[in-house]
């Protein structure tokens, strides 16, 4: 009973602070409480407060890119995507990986068991999303799927239908997983490293951070750079986290393992869609460099930015579903506002 009373006191305080628009304090209060006790009301209030913190005061940082000049390269002489163990991850390696080689592959960012538990959470979130649609909407009852209450004038809300129709769920629409993922990233130190890369505290995108299950039935995918959707003049890092064995009997990623300095033309050179990069353009950008399809274990992560050219990799022997999380982080000084960032 004492635990329930303490939680109720926390919720009362959180709602009062929200009325006063003291969202940073709400985030700290609820995050601390949820580390001790799960609660759907606290999880939903925390997700909403991360959003309202942005809405009430959109960031306008004047920080400049600290890595726009000469860059040290601890991977000098390496061909392809650099690969490190999680304990080796630091700002210098992230900078070099993205700015010189296109991406950085981090093995074991999360423990295998933790990653597999997140995969089960994604399955639950997707199932609860489908059930919500079958019931015709209404008040959500699941901590795994409860839509973030975006403002009526938020155009991004329309993108939900495309994401959910493709077998995904926004991370922000799963209050429990949103809290768990941010906590795990903070505890692993990767958010501090991304902050060092930006030179300022990162924000998490609503529209580009997604819980995904790629089914074993998928047989093709299209090349793209995310800068084609978000714009080129931003500063971003995508943390693509594998939650299952990927690249052998389940879909993985196919990559062009080099740094590109701009967004390529789309809808040309045999492209299937106006937003995709055609195979002929991929060949031109590669300049003779072959694409690669790394194998990922649960807990492995690939970090890259909006200029990285990639697609879902579909191996010949695909027979299993693939679970993964995309978490796009932005620098407050240069971010796409239409993607709606969340305060961490």
Residue identified by tokens 């901590």 is 143
Q: How does residue 176 score in pLDDT terms, banded at 50, 70 and 90?
A: very high
Strands of the chain, DSSP E: 83-85, 103-107, 168-170, 203-205, 210-214, 236-242, 252-255, 301-304, 310-313, 322-330, 341-342
By the 10 Å C-beta count (0-12 exposed, 13-18 middle, 19+ buried), 154 is classed as: middle
User: Kind of pairing, strands 203-205 and 322-330?
Assistant: antiparallel
Residue 147: which of 122, 127, 175 has the closest Cα? 175
User: Kind of pairing, strands 103-107 and 83-85?
Assistant: parallel
Task: With H, G, I as helix, E, B as strand and everything else as coil, classify residue 240.
Answer: strand
Residue 279 confidence (pLDDT)? 94
The model's pLDDT over 295-319, given as tens digits with 9 standing for 90+, comes to 999 999 999 999 999 999 998 889 9
Residue 61 confidence (pLDDT)? 87
Q: How many CB atoms are located within 10 Å of the residue 64 CB?
A: 12
pTM above 0.75, yes or no: yes
Q: Is the dihedral of CA 168, 172, 176, 180 positive or negative?
A: positive
The model's pLDDT over 15-49, given as tens digits with 9 standing for 90+, comes to 999 999 999 999 999 999 999 999 999 999 999 99
Separation of alpha carbons 12 and 77, rounded Å: 58
Say which CATH superfamily domain 72-342 falls into.
q2cbj1_9rhob like domain (2.60.120.620)
Q: How does residue 199 score in pLDDT terms, banded at 50, 70 and 90?
A: very high
Residue 337 confidence (pLDDT)? 87
Q: How does residue 141 score in pLDDT terms, banded at 50, 70 and 90?
A: confident
Separation of alpha carbons 184 and 39, rounded Å: 18
- DSSP single-letter state for residue 168: E
Q: Which long-range contacts (CB under 8 A, 24 or more apart) does 158-165 make?
A: 159/207, 163/210, 164/129, 164/133
Residue identified by tokens 């839509």 is 147
Residue 1 confidence (pLDDT)? 39
Provide the H-helix boundaries in 189-339: 190-198, 227-230, 279-286
Task: With H, G, I as helix, E, B as strand and everything else as coil, classify residue 169.
Answer: strand
């Amino acid at each position: 009973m004492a635990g329930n009373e303490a939680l109720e006191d926390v919720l009362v305080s959180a709602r009062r602070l929200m009325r006063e628009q003291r969202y940073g304090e709400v985030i700290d209060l609820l995050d601390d409480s949820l580390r001790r006790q799960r609660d759907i009301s606290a999880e939903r209030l925390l997700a909403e407060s991360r959003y309202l913190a942005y809405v009430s005061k959109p960031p306008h940082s004047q920080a400049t890119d600290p890595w726009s000049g000469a860059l040290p390269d601890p991977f000098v002489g390496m061909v392809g995507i650099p690969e490190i163990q999680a304990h080796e991850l630091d700002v210098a390696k992230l900078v070099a990986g993205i700015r010189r080689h296109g991406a950085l592959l981090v093995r074991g960012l999360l423990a295998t068991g933790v990653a597999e538990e997140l995969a089960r959470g994604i399955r639950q979130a997707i199932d609860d999303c489908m059930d919500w649609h079958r019931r015709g909407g209404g008040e959500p009852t699941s901590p795994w799927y409860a839509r973030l209450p975006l403002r009526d004038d938020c155009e991004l809300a329309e993108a939900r239908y495309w994401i959910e129709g493709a077998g995904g769920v926004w991370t922000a629409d799963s209050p429990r997983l949103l809290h768990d993922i941010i906590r795990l990233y903070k505890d692993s130190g990767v958010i501090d490293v991304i902050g060092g890369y930006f030179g300022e505290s990162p924000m998490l995108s609503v529209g580009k951070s997604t819980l995904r299950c790629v089914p074993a039935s998928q047989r093709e995918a299209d090349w793209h750079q995310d800068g084609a959707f978000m714009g080129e003049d931003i500063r971003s890092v995508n943390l693509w986290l594998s939650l299952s064995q990927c690249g052998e009997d389940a879909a993985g990623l196919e990559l062009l393992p080099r740094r590109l300095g701009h967004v390529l033309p789309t809808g040309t050179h045999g492209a299937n869609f106006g937003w995709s990069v055609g195979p002929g353009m991929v060949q031109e950008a590669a300049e003779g460099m072959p694409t690669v399809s790394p194998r990922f274990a649960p807990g492995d992560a690939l970090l890259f930015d909006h200029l990285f050219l990639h697609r879902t990799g579909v191996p010949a022997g695909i027979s299993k579903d693939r679970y993964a999380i995309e978490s796009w982080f932005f620098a407050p000084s240069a971010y796409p506002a239409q993607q709606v960032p969340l305060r961490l």
